Amino acid sequence: MTLIAIFFPFVSFFLRGRILTSIICLILQITVIGWIPAAIWAVISLQNGREDKHNKKLVDAFSTKRLKYFSYRKSFASFTMTDLYDFALGSIVFLGLF
């Protein structure tokens, strides 16, 4: 997946279900100068996504242990920090080159 993120950054976002981000990345990728920032953005986003999955597994494991002692489970928002980071980084890269 990392090789896809380097050589085809927009496909990396598309395969992970981030359609709007993949379109922005494709626009950025069309320019020769924009290819390098798009590839860096895709790799960083991929790594952050992997870290979010790992952290969610840890939180879920901890939460299921806590459920024995507490009768409620804290709900998590569906909007993760990776989504916010992707949007912010994409906006900075996109606006910085155009």
Tens digit of pLDDT for each residue in 39-48? 888 899 888 8
Decide which of 30 and 61 is more confident.
Answer: 30
Range of the structural domain that residue 62 is part of: 2-97
Is the pLDDT at 36 greater than 50, yes or no? yes
In 3D, which of 26, 52, 56 has the Cα closest to residue 41? Answer: 26
37: CB partners within 8 A, 6+ apart? 28, 93, 97
Q: What is the pLDDT of residues 42-97, one digit of tens each?
A: 899 888 888 888 888 877 776 666 555 544 444 445 556 666 667 676 766 666 65
Ranges 18-22, 25-29, 62-66, 75-79: which has the least confidence: 75-79
Rg (alpha carbons) of the chain, rounded to whole number? 17
Contact 1, 47 (CB under 8 A): no
- Tally of structural domains, the chain: 1
